């Protein structure tokens, strides 16, 4: 695809060569993310960071990525503090905000809302999560992490065996990741969820039609025993009508060190898009896994910065200028 000036709304936009390009650019962002060097390549540019639904890492990661490229960030946080709460349409909001910004990142609770917003925006829009539909930048950082973790084990994404666990019905990260995996060869997927929270049928059918081996199950132990990656997800309480309804499913698929040792192959990588629900009744990834070197959840968040820097540099067409606008950092770097 042509990245310059493009909005990033769905992973369905990408071909496999695009993924290689994004990962290549992301690798080059490492010295800047690590503060070994700094670049002012986006000096004067403004990111409109519009988050109409709760977020910690996606919002801050997009903002930090833009700052690390030298740009400034303006934010709206929460529906109630925006004019959407006064009845303003997404069309009007997009017309206004795209006059203030060079690029916009947006999260919104309604599926396809970010794509609607993008139609009225005069600048590129990156989907930071539209309801239970998609979360493209998360899937890219997840796949980037998978590639890095497998490389350390002498493997590639082709041939990957992965278990996705939890609320696969509402989890936008697993929807986007599943679609990205369709670009690769010889992929085996174990989908582990309660029947009511199963992966949408159209995604399962698409995966099978693209040649992926897909097994659906309600049992975590047997599903994680022959995979390279265990990708756990949270029960997406915000998509249920009540907390009580979400409680019916919480805590059904717990992973802790004892279960990992008993059922997983050595070096099985543990991933989660975060936030993990660490409340006792959920505890989907126990903190006793925190000392396990195969727990990649915080490497995922670090990688997110690289991938998001790459997306900004590519959509704003400055990849070739990043190095030219770089200098050493003057402060003491503790990393």
- Given 58, 145, 173, 233, the catalytic residue: 58
Question: Per-residue x/- mask for ligand CP, residues 119 to 158, rule CB under 6 A?
Answer: ----------x--------x--------------------
Q: How far is the CB of 1 from ligand CP (least distance, A)?
A: 23
**Is position 223 an interface residue for ligand CP (rule: CB under 6 A)?**
no
Beta strands in the chain (DSSP E): 37-39, 46-51, 72-77, 103-108, 125-130, 161-165, 188-192, 213-217, 229-232, 269-271, 326-328
- 190 strand-pairing partners: 163, 215
Is position 107 annotated as part of the catalytic site? yes
Radius of gyration of the chain (CA): 20
Q: Which stretch binds ligand CP (CB under 6 A): 5-13, 19-27, 269-277, 280-288?
A: 269-277
Residue with tokens 């905000």: 97
Angle between helix 201-209 and 172-181 (nearest 10): 10
- The residue within the footprint of ligand CP, chosen from 40, 57, 155, 263 (CB under 6 A), is 57
Q: Which of 38, 59, 107, 169 is catalytic?
A: 107
d(CA 198, CA 186): 22
| Residue 236 interacts with ligand CP (CB under 6 A): yes or no | no
119 is catalytic: no
148: annotated active-site residue: no
Non-local (6+) Cβ contacts of 229 within 8 A are: 146, 149, 160, 161, 162, 163, 268, 269, 270, 271
Instruction: Name which of 48 and 70 has its Cβ closer to ligand CP.
Output: 48
| 252 tagged catalytic | no
Q: Does residue 274 bind ligand CP (CB under 6 A)? A: yes
Point out which residues bind ligand CP (CB under 6 A).
55-58, 129, 138, 273-275
Residues with active-site annotation: 57-58, 86, 107, 135
């Amino acid at each position: 695809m042509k990245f310059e000036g493009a909005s990033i709304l769905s992973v369905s936009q990408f071909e496999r060569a695009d993924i290689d390009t994004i990962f290549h650019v992301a690798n080059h962002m490492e010295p800047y993310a690590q503060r070994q060097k700094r670049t002012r390549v986006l000096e004067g540019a403004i990111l409109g960071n519009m988050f109409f639904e709760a977020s910690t890492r996606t919002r801050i990661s997009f903002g930090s990525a833009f700052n690390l490229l030298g740009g400034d960030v303006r934010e709206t946080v929460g529906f109630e503090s925006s004019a959407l709460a006064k009845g303003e349409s997404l069309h009007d909001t997009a017309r206004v905000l795209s006059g203030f910004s060079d690029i916009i990142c947006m999260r919104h609770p309604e599926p396809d809302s970010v794509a609607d917003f993008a139609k009225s925006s005069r600048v590129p829009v990156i989907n930071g999560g539209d309801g239970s539909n998609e979360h493209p930048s998360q899937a890219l950082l997840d796949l980037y992490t998978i590639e890095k973790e497998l490389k350390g084990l002498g493997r590639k994404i082709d041939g990957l065996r992965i278990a996705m666990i939890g609320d696969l019905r509402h989890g936008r990260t697993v929807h986007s990741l599943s679609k990205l995996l369709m670009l690769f060869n010889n992929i085996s997927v174990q989908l582990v969820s309660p029947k009511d929270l199963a992966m949408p049928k159209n995604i399962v059918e698409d995966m099978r039609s693209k040649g992926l081996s897909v097994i659906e199950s309600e049992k975590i132990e047997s599903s994680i025993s022959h995979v390279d990656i265990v990708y756990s997800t949270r029960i997406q309480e915000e998509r249920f009508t009540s907390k009580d309804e979400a409680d019916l499913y919480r805590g059904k698929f717990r992973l802790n060190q004892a279960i990992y040792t008993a059922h997983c192959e050595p070096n099985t990588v543990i991933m989660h898009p975060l936030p993990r629900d660490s409340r006792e009744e959920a505890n989907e990834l126990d903190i006793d896994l925190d000392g396990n070197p195969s727990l990649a959840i915080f490497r995922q968040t670090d990688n997110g910065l690289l991938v998001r820097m790459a997306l900004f540099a590519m959509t704003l067409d400055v990849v070739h200028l990043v190095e030219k606008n770089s200098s050493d950092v003057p402060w003491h770097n503790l990393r």
